[in-house]
Structure 1
C-alpha cells in the first residue's frame, strides 16, 4: 500500500486499509467559442478539488443533488474520464495518468455498474457474450470454461443460467441491471463504482438490487463507491457517506453519525426532505426548503459555495472557503466544511425509518436467491 497518506484521508477510514485514495481531484470541462479558430472562454468545474478514501471491503455512499459532480467523480475513479488535476491511488498504485495498457490491468480489480441498464448493455450481443467479454479482454480462462463461468455469474445475481443465449431486449429493467452486475463481477474486482444503480428501477426492485449488492459485498469482500441521490437507499447500503455540493465534498462521516447529527446545513436540508415511514412523524419534523437554484458550476460562488442558499450565511462565508475538517462535537472521522455548523439540537431524529419499502426489505432480504425482476 501507499507509504504516505493525505492527512484528511488518514482521518476518514481508520478501521480499513485504504484501497482507494483520491486527493485534490479536479475535472474541468472547457467551454470554447468559435468555429474555425476556437478559444477557451471558461470551464465547467464539475469536480473541483475533493479528497476521500475507501477502505478494503468498505462501502462509501456519494450523495447530492443532480449536477453536483457525483457521476463525474465515478468516471474519474475508473478513468473513463481524464482528471484535470489531482491524484487517484488504487491498491497502492497511482493510476491518475496510467496508460491504456496499465489501466487494463487496474480494471481487473476496478469495475463499474452504470446507471441505465438499457443503454449500458450492447443490444447486439447475447447475455453470455456481455459477461464473457471482460474475461476475454483480460486473458482470464476459468478452469470450467467461459460459458460455465458466465452461467455461474447469472446464478449468483439471481438469474437463470438458461438466459445465457438471450439478448438484453428480452429482459426487464431489474433483470438488465442484474446482468450489468454479473458483468462487473466477472473479474472478481476489489472495488466497484456503482453509479445510480437503482435510480431507474421501481422501489420494490430497487430494494432487491440493493440487497443483492450487499450480499455480494459480504460474500466476496468487495468495496463499493455507491453513487445515489436517494438518501434512504444510501443509508440502507453504505457504511460511510460523503455529501457533495457543486463539485465539492461538504460533509463525510459514518452512516449513523451523519444521519443522527448532520452538521452541514446542506446535509440537514437534504435529510429533512426525506419522507417519513410513520405519517404521524411527518408534521413533527421541520421541512427545510432551500431558496434559489443551484449556482452554475461555470462560475461558482466565492467562499462557501452553499452560502447563496444557506440560511446561516454570514460575511465570512463569502470571503473564506471552509475547510473539510473535524469540528467540535463531531465523532472521529466526521468531517464538515462549514464556518457555522448546525447544532445537535437541530438535527433530525436518528431512529426514523426513511423508506417503508426498504425497511421491509431489510427484514426479508431476497439476496441472491430472490425472484429475478
Structure 2
C-alpha cells in the first residue's frame, strides 16, 4: 500500500458534538418495559475536514460503527449535534435530509451482504441515481459503466450479478455505488476487514486514489491500525463509546499518551527490519458491558495506571503538556511523551 501524505486540511465538513446513542434494553415476559440502556456512543466530539481522512479505531463493540451510522443519519441520535457543511442535521426530517443524502455515502463492511443478490451490478450502482432522479449526460448506463471502470472493473460487467464476483470485486462494486452521486464525504465502515490481505491493499489504494483525484473526505472506521496508518491523516481512538485520544497520524503513532492507545499500538506487528521492537502490553480482563459502563474513566478497570481519581472523575479530552497541536487525550495519568523515533517510556513502577 502507498502511504497517504499529510496535506493541509480544508474547512470542517462534518462535526459531531456531544453525540450520544443509547439503545433501550427491554425486560419482562408479558408486559415489556425498559430495564436499562446500551451506551453505544456516549458523548463524542469529532470533526472531519474537507478532503481529509479521519481514522476511527478501537476494539470490536466500542461503538465505531454506530458512530458512523449516526454521522450518515441512518440512526437518530439520543443527544448531541451533527453538523454537515455548517448545517445542523442531527434531528432533521426526511425532507430536510434529502438534499444532502447524495453528499454523504457509505461503504459497508461485508461485501457479501451489502449487495442485493437479485439485482445486477447496473441496477445496484445506478440505483442511487434512479432514486434521486438524476439523469447524467449520456444516460445512467454510460455513467455506471464509467464508475465500474474507475474502480477497476470491466464495464461489460454491467449485467452480471454479485455472486459472479470475488469479495474484492464486490467491495469495488460497493465503492462504485458510493461514488454514483459524487459525494463529498464517504463513511467507510470496516471496508476491508472481510477481505484477504492482498485484496485489502488493492481496495485501500483505490480509496486513496479516489481521494486524490476527487477530493473526497473519508471517515474510515477500522480496527486494523496498520491499515489506518497508511490511509488516515488523523486518527481518533474509541473505547466503550468514548473518544480517548485523537491526533494527527505521526503524533499518535509515535507519541501515544493514553494507555489504551499505547496498548493497541503495542499489538501491531513490526513489519520493517529496522523497526524497534515494542514491548507487548496485554490488557487484563474483558471490555466492560456498555449497559453498565464503569464510573469515571471507562478504561480504568483494565488500566495499569488507574488510581482512585479515575473511578470518581471522568477525564476530559484535552491537550496535555508535551502534546502537539491538535493532539487531545482523555487521561488523568497519561503516558510520558517521547522524542521522535523513540519508544514510549513508561514508569517502571507502573509497568503491567
Superposed pair shares fold, TM > 0.5: yes
Q: Does 1:328 align with 2:303?
A: no
Residue 48 of structure 1 corresponds to which residue in structure 2? 42
CA distance in 2, matches of 1:281, 1:14: 28
Per the alignment, in what secondary structure is the counterpart of residue 184 of structure 1?
helix
Quote how far apart the aligned CAs of 1:104 are. Answer: 2.5
Aligned-residue offset at 1:91: 1.4
Pairs within 5 Å for 1:29-48: 29-48=23-42
What displacement does 1:344 show? 2.3
| Superimposed CA distance per residue, residues 227-269 of structure 1 (whole angstroms, 9 cap, x where no aligned partner) | 0000000000000000000000000000011001000000000
- Structure 1 length normalisation: TM-score? 0.88
- Aligned-pair CA distance for 1:36: 3.5
In structure 1, distance between residues paired with 2:198 and 2:188: 19
SS in 2 for 1:213: helix
Q: Tell me whether 1:257 sits opposite 2:265 in the alignment.
A: no
* Contact preservation (8 Å) 1:262, 1:347: no
Aligned length in residues: 337
| 3-state SS of paired residue (1:332) | coil
Are the counterparts in 2 of residues 174 and 209 from structure 1 also a CA contact under 8 Å? yes
SS in 1 for 2:208: helix
Runs of 4+ in 1 over 4 A off after TM superposition: 279-282, 345-350
1:131 to partner: Cα distance:
0.7
Which residue, out of 304, 321, 325, partners 1:311?
304
In the alignment, the residues of structure 2 paired with residue 36 and residue 187 of structure 1 have an alpha-carbon distance, to the nearest angstrom, of 47
Q: Distance in 2 between matches of 1:94 and 1:137?
A: 24
State yes or no: 1:102 paired with 2:112: no
Which range is displaced more, 74-83 or 264-273?
A: 74-83
Q: How far apart, CA to CA, are the structure 2 residues paired with 1:238 and 1:281?
A: 21
Q: Equivalent residue for 2:214?
A: 220
| Residue aligning to 2:128 | 134
Q: Which residue of 2 aligns with 1:341?
A: 334
Q: Secondary structure at the match of 1:318?
A: helix
Structure 2 unpaired stretches of 5+:
1-6, 344-352
Deviations 1:278-305 (A, max 9, x none): 46857x3210000111011011111111
Counterpart of 2:21 (choices 20, 27, 38) is 27
Partner of 2:177: 183
SS at match of 1:344: coil
SS at match of 2:319: coil
**1:69-112 deviations in Å (ceiling 9; x for gaps):** 00000111111111111110011211111112322221110000
- TM-score, structure 2 as length reference: 0.93
Distance (whole Å) between structure 1 residues aligned to residue 123 and residue 191 of structure 2:
21
Structure 1 residue ranges without an equivalent (≥5): 1-12, 351-373
